[in-house]
Amino acid sequence: MASNRDKLRAKRAELNLQRLEISDNTLQADNFVDSEIKKFENTSKQEQNNENDIIYRTKNYEQFHDFPNEKLKLPLLTGEKRELLRSSIKQIGVQTPAKVIRVSDFTLPLYNDYKPEDFIILGGHNRLEICKELNLEYPYIILHDLNQATINKIVAEDHLLNRQLNDMSPSEKVHLFKALNEDTRTFSEKFKEQKESRAVIYRLLQLQKLCDGFVSWVDGKDGHKLPIYAATSISSLDEDEQNNLISYLSENKIKAITIKQADALKNIKQTVKPKGNKLSINDFDSVFKVDRKRTSKILKGKSNLSEDILNLIPEKERNNAEDIIKQALKIYYKANN
C-alpha cells in the first residue's frame, strides 16, 4: 500500500507534466499546479484521518514487531496481571485495538531487517501475545506521519496507563517522564489518582537531566547508591561533567554518592567555578578523596563496624567501640528478657 507521501510525490510529478502541456504562460501553469496540489493535499489529509480510524484485524502475527526502546515500552505482563488480561480477551475479545506504525514510516533506528510493509507496535504487544496464544484476530489501527517525539510519547502514555507509578523503578519513571515532556503541573494532575506528590514529580523531572549512567545508579544497580535528593544535585552538572564524574568514580572504585557530596559538587559548579568552566578531577578529588580519607581514619581497626554505628559513639571513645557495643547489647538483652 502506497503511503500518502508517495501518493503526493506521484501527483506532483503528474501535475508537473500537465503544466508543460497547459500553456506557454508560466504563471498560469504554476497557479494551476499549486491549486491542484493544495486540493490533493487536503484530500490526502482527510484520507489519512479516515485511515487512522479504521480498525484492521489479522492473524498474521509475524508482521508485528516490538518497539525497539525497552526503556519506554510496557514490559510483558506476567503472573496474575497476564492471567486477568488473558481471561478478559478470551471472554469478550480485544476491546482496544493496538496502535501501530509501518516500518517504512518509522523514524527511529531499527536493528533488524524488517519488511517495509510490516508494523512496529506502539501500544498493544501484550494483546498480541495473547491473541497468538488463543488464535484470535489481532485488531489494530495504523498511525501515520509521526515524528520521533510523538512516537515516544505514544509509547510512554501506553506504559503509564497500564502501570502504577509505585510499581516502577526511579529510572523507569525518568525515561517515561522525559518522553512525555510535560511540566510539573500537568504530571501532578495526570497522576493525582496515584497519589504521587508534586514534590516527588518535580524531582523526577529534574532527573531527566541525568545521563543514563547515573539514572541506573538511582535504581541501586550493581551495588551503586545515589539517593534521589543527591541525584537532583548531580543533574545540575552538564552531560560532559556527569560522564567525567562516572569515569572518575569507576577508576576510584567509588559506588556511592551522598547528598552532602552531591551538594558540594553542585556548589562548586554554581558558586566557585567561573561561569562556563567545567568541573575538573581536582574538584572531584576535593569532594571524594577528603571524605574517603576521613572515613578511613574513623574506621581504622574497626572495618567490621559501619560508619553509622560509629557516629553514635563520641569520637574520643571510638577506639573502644566494640567493647561499648557489647556492653550496650548486654544491658539491652538483660532489660528485655
For the chain, percent of residues with pLDDT exceeding 90: 24
Please give the average per-residue pLDDT across 229-255, as a whole number.
Answer: 91
The whole-angstrom separation of Cα 164 and Cα 191 is 9
The whole-angstrom separation of Cα 229 and Cα 236 is 12
pLDDT category at 44 given cuts 50, 70, 90 is low
Q: What's the pTM value of the predicted model, to 2 decimals?
A: 0.57
Q: What is residue 194's predicted lDDT score, i.e. its pLDDT?
A: 58
Q: What is residue 290's predicted lDDT score, i.e. its pLDDT?
A: 55
Residue spans of the domains in the chain: they are 4-52, 56-153, 299-337
Does the pLDDT at position 152 exceed 70? yes
Q: In this structure, are residues 98 and 138 in contact, taking their beta carbons and an 8 Å threshold?
A: yes
How many residues comprise the chain?
Answer: 337
Cell, residue 330? 548486654
CATH of domain 56-153: 3.90.1530
Does the pLDDT at position 167 exceed 60? yes
Does the pLDDT at position 203 exceed 80? no
Mean pLDDT, the chain, whole residue set = 78
Residue among 189, 218, 216, 217 at smallest CA distance from 201: 189
Positions of E strands within the chain: 56-58, 64-65, 98-102, 119-123, 138-143
User: Strand 56-58's sheet: what is its strand order?
Assistant: 56-58, 138-143, 98-102, 119-123, 64-65
Helix (H, G, I), strand (E, B) or coil at 244: helix
pLDDT category at 13 given cuts 50, 70, 90 is low
The whole-angstrom separation of Cα 35 and Cα 69 is 42
For the chain, percent of residues with pLDDT exceeding 70: 70
pLDDT in tens, 248-286: 999 888 999 999 999 999 999 988 888 778 899 889 999
